[in-house]
Amino acid sequence: MEQTHQGLSSKSEALIEKENKYGAHNYHPLPVVLDRGEGVFVWDVDGKKYYDFLSAYSAVNQGHCHPKIVGAMVKQAQTLTLTSRAFHNDQLGVFEEYVTKYFGFDKVLPMNTGAEAVETALKICRKWSYEVKGIPENQAQIIVCENNFHGRTTTIISFSNDENARKNFGPFTEGFIKIPYDDTDALEAALKSSPNIAGFLVEPIQGEAGVYVPTEGYLAKAKALCEAHNVLFIADEVQTGIARTGRLLATCGNCSCTKGCENTPEVKPDILILGKAISGGVYPVSAVLANDGIMNVIKPGQHGSTFGGNPVAAAVAVAALEVVRDEKLSENAERLGIILRKGLNEIASRNSLISLVRGKGLLNAIVIDCDEESDLAWQICLKFRDYGLLAKPTHGNKIRFAPPLVITEAQIQDCLAIIEKALNDFK
């Protein structure tokens, strides 16, 4: 796509040019070149400072370059980085105990990226369905939702309905049934449609689809339906998890504890998928959590990853999860999310460009009053950039607002002023 880089320095232009020339064009980044981050801020190569309102798609919940997390990484990187799982290492078991107690599951299977963790969950679910539930071999079906985003592997795009993500990547993996999101009637019908349903994979809030928050009670009802049909409820909390929505997990519902699912959550998934902020954005770490009755279907040689569960990842993830607890990031996300949405709704009442504000905690979006094909949201994001705030459109006319959870109330107010000023330029 052609884009004009109005106002960019020649240094930035040259660096963008290198990416265009030597890198595959699989992304369409906002034209800004960053070289430093700290807390809620990032700086470009010319020294200009910005609020980060994307947080690397909610990977940087703990803020950029959190000293405790980076410290854990540096220390471990200087000691032992990779053993592979052919041998034990002194960090993995410590991480496994910490993360399972933190989220209240018997066992964890560590991987690296979110998509790998989703793949892992699908494999565990299928294997459980054959070996425990007793579905005939190769007959298992997994229910997924329309407009889902679970990553970019061949199997995952097989059940996406984003044409751009699928076109000319076939043939696709079979065994998925797609139903509308936020629709328990459709779920019930799908569950009744076949005795061979193994699982239901769902995002507690559809982030990439534009921060689509389901009806109150949807997840609990869906979980109850799954239980009634002996079907695994698989929550993809790669984006919604780790304090982003004002709870440790979005499936925690209204439980306000900081102990995660040790207490009684609104919905306890059978399989929980985590990624992104489990490392505070400093290193790729993902994880699949489940209880023994499910996780024990995996035996040596049946699944793995060279880097999954490596000592650096283990040390980083423990530090990143400690920061979430020590700095009360769930509470901060809940409190500041309310203030942010209130401010955005006030702006919307003065400026008709915003047709809707939605979200939970600090995972929010505004819907711009234009159609999905318009480039108005992109133009608005360029204007935000000019005024010192970085955000990116998702699905055409929606702009996600997801700052690091260490943001303060004064900074939120500052950002609201930037957002209103930028929007007023389009009046």
List interacting residues with ligand PLP (CB under 6 A): 57, 113-115, 118, 149-151, 203, 207, 236, 238-239, 275
What is the nearest approach in angstroms of ligand PLP to the Cβ of residue 59? 8
Residue, CB closest to ligand PLP: 114
Confirm whether 46 is a catalytic residue: no
DSSP 226-277: HHHTT-EEEEE-TTTTTTTTSSSSGGGTT---SSGGGS--S---SEEEE-GG
The pair of structure tokens assigned to 339 is 């203030």
Two tokens at 389? 């705030």
Order the strands of the 49-52 sheet from edge to edge. Answer: 34-38, 41-44, 49-52, 389-390
- In the complex with ligand PLP, the residue whose CB is nearer, 73 or 242, is 242
Q: From the CB of 363, what's the least distance to ligand PLP, in Å?
A: 10
Q: Check 41, 149, 233, 384 and give the catalytic one.
A: 149
Residue 239 C-beta: closest distance to ligand PLP, Å? 3
Closer residue to ligand PLP, CB minimum distance, 120 or 332: 120
Q: How many whole angstroms separate alpha carbon 216 and alpha carbon 237?
A: 17
Burial of 178 (0-12, 13-18, 19+ CB in 10 A): middle
The pair of three-digit structure tokens given for residue 27, joined into one six-digit string: 């992304």
Show the tokens assigned to 18.
Answer: 């290198």
> Which one, 203 or 266, has the nearer CB to ligand PLP?
203
Q: Is 303 exposed, middle or buried (0-12, 13-18, 19+ CB in 10 A)?
A: middle
- Rounded to whole angstroms, how far apart are CA atoms 41 and 55? 10
Distance CA 327, CA 253 (A): 20
Which of 44, 159, 223, 236 is an active site residue? Answer: 236
The pair of three-digit structure tokens given for residue 238, joined into one six-digit string: 């790669």
Least distance CB 69 / ligand PLP (angstroms): 17
> How far are the Cα atoms of 1, 76, 283, 313, 365 from residue 90, in angstroms, in the given order?
48, 11, 19, 12, 42
Question: φ and ψ at 73, to 5 degrees?
Answer: -65, -45
Strand locations in 78-209 (E): 107-111, 141-145, 176-179, 197-202
Query: Beta partners for 390?
Result: 52
- Residue 276 annotated to the active site: yes
Q: Which two tokens stand for residue 106?
A: 């018997």
Q: Residue 280 or residue 343: which is nearer to ligand PLP going by CB?
A: 280
Complex with ligand PLP: residue 63 or 114, whichever CB lies closer: 114
CB nearer ligand PLP, residue 119 or residue 334: 119
Q: Is 301 left (phi over 0), alpha (psi -120 to 50) or beta?
A: left
CB of 400 to ligand PLP, least distance (A): 11
- Tell me which of 223, 276, 360, 398 is the catalytic residue: 276
| 182 catalytic per annotation | no
Which residue number, 149 or 283, has a Cβ lying nearer to ligand PLP?
149
Residue 148 CA to residue 325 CA, distance in Å, equals 29
Q: Min. distance of Cβ 87 from ligand PLP in angstroms?
A: 26
Nearer to ligand PLP, 115 or 381 (CB): 115
- Output the smallest distance, CB 235 to ligand PLP, in A: 10
Question: Could you list the active site residues?
Answer: 149, 236, 276
